[in-house]
Structure 1
Amino acid sequence: MNQTRIGSGHEYLRLTAEAADGGPPQSLLAELRLRDLSASVEVSHHYATGFADLAEFFRRHADDWRGWDGVRTWESLEGELKIDASHRYGHVRLRVTLQSFRHDWGNDGWTATGDLTIEPGEELSRAAEEIKTLTG
């Protein structure tokens, strides 16, 4: 599997692995699609851990499907992708932020943020398994 899609219908976060000669991915393409928003950014891996912490982030939520207090956050090493997860009203809300940094001529790039709502049971467990497989 070289991609996973988190969300439903026309609103989702799709992660596509950029393979490295059969080994773990060197980067992910993160695509956020919402009703009035479409954004994508390449996410670099951490040289020591790859994307293992992202897989663990989703596994932890699948294990805690009955709920947790507060907001849990995962952010890529360079800050291109940030995911804030909260459990509200029997659902999991993922606030996804994509950033593209450009430091030329005073242009700082762009930021896109949107919310996805997913079911805490099977949908969240499936996402956790697919991300584990995707990130190797």
Structure 2
Amino acid sequence: MTSLDESTDVRPRVTIHCQDNASIIVTLRDRFSFDADSVHYAAEVSAPGLTARVNEVVAWTGDSDLVPFLEGLAADYRGWDGARHWQTGDRDLAVSAVFRSGGYVGLTWTLRPWRKAAGGWGASVTTWVEAGEQMASLASDIRQFLAGEQQ
């Protein structure tokens, strides 16, 4: 289940809850932009015993972005074989998707900042989302979030 939240914080965020375990959450928040070519935001993952955050994920408006990746998954709601992958240009946020019988997509969200630095770290969680409408809704929510649109 996903939501484009506009709680007491004036900045919108997208929250993705796992269908199988509601304590597994991915949040995209704190969107800002320096220019028309990019959008910066924070990505957070949490699960029992795990909380991780990358403060400045960059989405370039001219690059292949997360939204078309998710829209492609929604369009293939009948399923596919193997895993599909997407990552930011800096590779600090990556998403892989697998299809499970019963019409669910497992999205594994991986945060990996400072990949080349000594002592770098990585954290991953998997959220299960219903294929089709829920996936299309997730893509729409993230599109609105990245565009800075309010619902």
> Normalising to structure 1: TM-score of the pair?
0.82
Aligned partner of 2:15: which letter? R
Using a 3 Å threshold, how does the CA distance of structure 1 residues 102 and 92 change in structure 2: closer, same or farther? closer
Task: Please name the residue that 1:109 is paired with.
Answer: 120
> What amino acid maps onto 2:70 in structure 1?
F
C-alpha RMSD over aligned residues: 2.4
Q: Distance in 2 between matches of 1:78 and 1:21?
A: 17
Matched with 1:3 is 13
AA in 2 matched with 1:14: T
Alignment partner for residue 58 of structure 2, among 36, 44, 51?
A: 44
Pick which of 78-87 and 34-43 moved more: 34-43
The size of the alignment, in residue pairs, is: 132
Q: Which residue in 1 is equivalent to 2:33?
A: 20
Choose from 73, 80, 95 the match for 1:83: 95
Give distance in 1, aligned partners of 2:137 and 2:75. Answer: 12
- The gaps in structure 1 that reach 5 residues or longer are none
Aligned match for 1:93, one of 94, 101, 106: 106
Q: Structure 1 segments of 4 or more deviating over 6 A?
A: none
Structure richer in strand, relative to its length = 1
Q: Give the counterpart letter for 1:68 in structure 2.
A: W
1:64-83 aligned within 5 A: 64-83=76-95
Specify the SS of the correspondent of 2:65. Answer: helix
Identity within the alignment, %: 29
Which whole-Å CA distance do the structure 1 matches of 2:36 and 2:91 have between them? 23
Unmatched tracts of structure 2, length 5 or more:
5-11
The TM-score with structure 2 as length reference comes to 0.75
Task: Look up the SS of the partner of 2:90 in the other structure.
Answer: coil
